[in-house]
């Protein structure tokens, strides 16, 4: 343990961080040890990580001092924020600043920051193809991350900028799975027309991050886009039909109709899907599948992910 490089992981009890924790623990000869950062070291999830072999420490991304302590002595840090816990890009930005400063104080040698595009570089606020939200964002949960990238460079923290993509796990946890229409038939609904959605198994994000830590210094200063597959709604529906053994249709609604669904975050997600669709070539191009597979040879396709997870998709 003493000669291993410690990777400290925010969100360790969650999707992205959890994937990284498991990737490190299942590779005991890889030269890395994992330190799971959690707000509650006594939670069931935190205790399970400790039993699995992780060091578990307290830390909160809203509290810079707690992070500096949690990162002390670590070689690397995986930094992720939790937009959907609070829906505030400003708070997300403050959290990134806390993580960057703490990494600086702790002298961390390699940060992997889970970021996304600041979509306003492509769709300025003056572009009315989609509404401006919260006064100054187009896709708040993307923009707040992208505009915070500079905190790491400002602090001269050696950082890899990891551009993630849509989790297929959203079909399980985020209410995006197939739903029965009035005709009783199952359908998935996205405002993507015939454009491709870059998707990934959430677990594979952490595994790709592990690949980045293993490569080390050569990855510092780079932006790395990852996806497991780029699929149209029709292709996703066809894969679901095959995996579930019942017909699943793709309902391609307009972005405006999606924004009007009215659930919390529908406007943010409507704009997000419109960004994916309108900038399909950019979005998929910056996330070549070969890059993710190079970092994580076990990268799953949508069909593989479905084979392992189809029973977990609620079919309401």
Task: Enumerate binding residues for ligand NAP (CB under 6 A).
Answer: 10-11, 13-17, 38-40, 43, 45-46, 60-62, 80-85, 141, 164, 166-167, 170, 174
Please give the Cα distance from 77 to 7 (Å, whole number).
Answer: 5
CB of 116 to ligand NAP, least distance (A): 6
CB of 228 to ligand NAP, least distance (A): 12
CB of 214 to ligand NAP, least distance (A): 20
- Residue 11 or 255 having the CB closest to ligand NAP: 11
- Residue 83 or 258 having the CB closest to ligand NAP: 83
Alpha-helix residue ranges (DSSP H) falling in the chain: 15-25, 44-52, 64-71, 83-86, 89-106, 140-146, 150-154, 170-173, 202-215, 233-244, 255-259, 266-278, 280-285, 289-295, 302-309
CB of 183 to ligand NAP, least distance (A): 28
Decide: 79 and 182 in contact? Cβ < 8 Å.
no
- Residue 15 or 303 having the CB closest to ligand NAP: 15
Decide: 19 and 205 in contact? Cβ < 8 Å.
yes
CB of 156 to ligand NAP, least distance (A): 24
- Residue 34 or 80 having the CB closest to ligand NAP: 80
**Regarding beta strands 76-79 and 110-115, do their DSSP bridges make them parallel or antiparallel, or are they unpaired?**
parallel
- Residue 170 or 304 having the CB closest to ligand NAP: 170
- Which residue's CB atom is positioned nearest to ligand NAP? 14
| Distance (Å) of CA 27 to CA 8, 66, 84, 129, 191 | 16, 28, 31, 47, 40
**Per-residue tokens: 50:** 């400790």
- Residue 93 or 216 having the CB closest to ligand NAP: 93
CB of 80 to ligand NAP, least distance (A): 5
Q: Which residue has the tokens 């920051």?
A: 113
Under DSSP, the state recorded for 219 is G
């Amino acid at each position: 343990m003493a000669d291993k490089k410690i990777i400290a992981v925010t969100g360790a009890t969650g999707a992205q961080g959890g994937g990284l924790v498991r990737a490190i623990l299942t590779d005991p000869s890889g030269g890395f040890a994992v330190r799971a950062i959690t707000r509650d070291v006594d939670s069931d999830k935190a205790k399970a990580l400790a039993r699995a072999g992780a060091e578990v420490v307290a830390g909160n991304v809203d509290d810079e001092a707690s992070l500096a302590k949690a990162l002390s002595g670590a070689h690397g840090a995986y930094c992720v924020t939790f937009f959907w816990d609070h829906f505030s890009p400003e708070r997300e930005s403050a959290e990134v600043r806390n993580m960057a400063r703490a990494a600086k104080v702790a002298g961390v040698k390699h940060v992997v920051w889970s970021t996304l595009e600041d979509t306003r570089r492509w769709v300025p606020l003056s572009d009315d193809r989609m509404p401006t939200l919260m006064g100054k964002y187009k896709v708040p949960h993307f923009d707040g991350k992208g505009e915070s990238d500079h905190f790491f460079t400002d602090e001269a923290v050696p950082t890899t900028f990891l551009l993630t993509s849509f989790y297929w796990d959203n079909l399980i946890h985020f209410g995006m799975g197939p739903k029965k229409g009035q005709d009783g038939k199952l359908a998935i609904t996205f405002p993507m027309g015939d454009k491709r959605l870059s998707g990934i198994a959430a677990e594979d994000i952490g595994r790709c991050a592990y690949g980045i830590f293993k490569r080390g210094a050569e990855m510092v200063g780079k932006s790395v886009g990852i996806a497991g597959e780029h699929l149209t709604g029709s292709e996703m529906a066809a894969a679901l039909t095959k995996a579930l053994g019942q017909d699943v249709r793709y309902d391609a609604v307009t972005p405006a109709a999606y924004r009007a669904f009215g659930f919390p975050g529908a406007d943010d997600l409507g704009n997000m899907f419109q960004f994916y669709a309108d900038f399909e070539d950019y979005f998929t191009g910056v996330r070549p599948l070969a890059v993710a597979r190079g970092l994580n040879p076990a990268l799953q396709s949508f069909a593989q992910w479905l084979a392992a997870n189809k029973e977990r998709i609620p079919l309401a």
